Amino acid sequence: MDTRNIIIVGSGPAGLTAAIYAARANLKPLVIEGYQSGGQLMLTSEVENFPGFEHGVMGPELMKNMRAQAIRFGAEFISADATKVELQAGVKKVWVDKTEHHAKTLIISTGASANLLGLKNESRLMGRGVSTCATCDGFFFRDKPIAVIGGGDSAMEEANFLSRFGSKVYLIHRREDFKASQIMIDRARANPKVEFILNTILEDVLGENEVTGLRLKNLKTQQTSELKVEGVFVAIGHTPNTKLFAGQITIDDKGYIRTSSEKTHVAATNIPGVYACGDVQDSRYRQAITAAGSGCAAALDAQHFLENHEA
Ligand code: NDP
């Protein structure tokens, strides 16, 4: 069996940028892109903050272009999920069902998934009023009433951020106490545009083609009510997609793959020749552009590793 230079698992902005860089370095990367390729940008509509697109770009189109760019330089793709890996210092092994692939280096870019409430209309109206990213979509709700669901730091931060755009921001949380830090709570409480609705859960998102309101239930009184909003931001945490690598790689206390703090190889994991980039190792920035940047770093780190380990 051939041992490739690089296998990349995952195909969001991080994985595809890594593929572009590795392919242009003539390393002929194999990208195992997953059945649901393209990552979280496939779930968004317009992306206005990715540099280089003066008038914005649709998320799926951006990903299609990145993929085509990688192919142009010789990256190969398998449109299926990696099902098993064996990560060790030597040859890295990745399975796609029964087929085994070997490489000298592996780049992990499997991303993270925003946690959702699991309501039917929440998925149906995703990108049409329902969002999981205030930085990405807040701008579309200028002068409109918005809701944020959650009681952690993300929810507080998103509520404050969204108050720059929305006419009003309702912060809806299922309890009276918060997971968020006190300073973040105080900041949101002091914001005249933010109104807290506590002990309350979201029962359903209302609207045919776009969000027109929410059906809420107060857990203390059991009363249901309707709230008119045009946007709802679900901020109940993220789950990094690391199941495939569990027990084989160092993961931090939030479940993200730990990458190096050394400036000379920022994408390195604890296993020589294994690198991670994008949201699977970033609980903080979670932007397409930071993911792309870290994908570039991972490809360059892998390239240096290959140069230093050439027979
Ligand atoms: P957290 O896990 O901290 O908070 C999630 C919140 O969502 C909790 O309040 C939780 O409620 C609520 N929640 C979870 N599931 C549901 C559900 N099914 N229905 C309703 N509510 C639900 O996630 P965050 O994304 O807020 O933060 C993740 C990490 O990132 C944290 O460590 C945080 O400190 C950090 N962070 C830091 C920031 C900063 O410092 N500027 C900004 C953003 C994040 P409950 O409390 O009842 O469990």
Question: What does the alpha-carbon distance between residue 141 and residue 149 come to, in Å, rounded to a whole number?
Answer: 16
Contact indicator for 249, 82 with CB cutoff of 8 Å: no
Listed range (71-75, 112-116, 294-298) with the worst mean pLDDT: 112-116
Higher pLDDT, 27 or 310: 27
Region label for 266, one of left (φ > 0), alpha (ψ between -120 and 50) or beta (otherwise)? alpha
Question: What does the alpha-carbon distance between residue 159 and residue 145 come to, in Å, rounded to a whole number?
Answer: 12
Residue 46, pLDDT > 80, answer no
Q: Which of 2, 81, 97, 137 is catalytic?
A: 137
Residue ID of nearest Cα to ligand 1 atom 37: 153
266: Cβ contacts below 8 Å, ≥ 6 apart:
259, 260, 294, 297, 301
Question: What does the alpha-carbon distance between residue 169 and residue 210 come to, in Å, rounded to a whole number?
Answer: 18
Cβ of 175 less than 6 Å from ligand 1: yes
Of the pLDDT bands very low, low, confident and very high (cuts 50, 70, 90), residue 177 is: very high
Residue ID of nearest Cα to ligand 1 atom 16: 236
What's the whole-number mean pLDDT along residues 113-132? 95
The whole-number pLDDT of residue 229 equals 98
The whole-number pLDDT of residue 139 equals 93
The whole-number pLDDT of residue 261 equals 85
Structure tokens at 52: 């280089």
The whole-number pLDDT of residue 136 equals 85
The whole-number pLDDT of residue 311 equals 55
* Centre of ligand 1 from the C-alpha of residue 185, in Å: 12
Residue 51, pLDDT > 90, answer yes
Contact indicator for 180, 164 with CB cutoff of 8 Å: no
Question: What does the alpha-carbon distance between residue 1 and residue 188 come to, in Å, rounded to a whole number?
Answer: 57
Contact indicator for 104, 91 with CB cutoff of 8 Å: yes
Residue 44, pLDDT > 90, answer no
Q: Which of 2, 81, 133, 177 is catalytic?
A: 133
User: What is the value of pTM for the model shown?
Assistant: 0.81
Count of positions (residues) in the chain: 311
Active site residue 277: no
Q: In this predicted model, what pLDDT tens digit does every residue of 217-256 receive, in sequence order?
A: 999 999 999 999 999 999 999 999 999 999 999 999 999 9
Report percent pLDDT > 90 for the chain.
87
Residue ID of nearest Cα to ligand 1 atom 40: 153
The pick from 119, 149, 179 for probing ligand 1's pocket by mutation, whose C-beta has the most ligand atoms within 8 angstroms, reads 179
* Cα separation values, 239 from 76, 116, 145, Å: 28, 10, 28
Structure tokens at 275: 């690198």
Of the pLDDT bands very low, low, confident and very high (cuts 50, 70, 90), residue 81 is: very high
Active site residue 137: yes
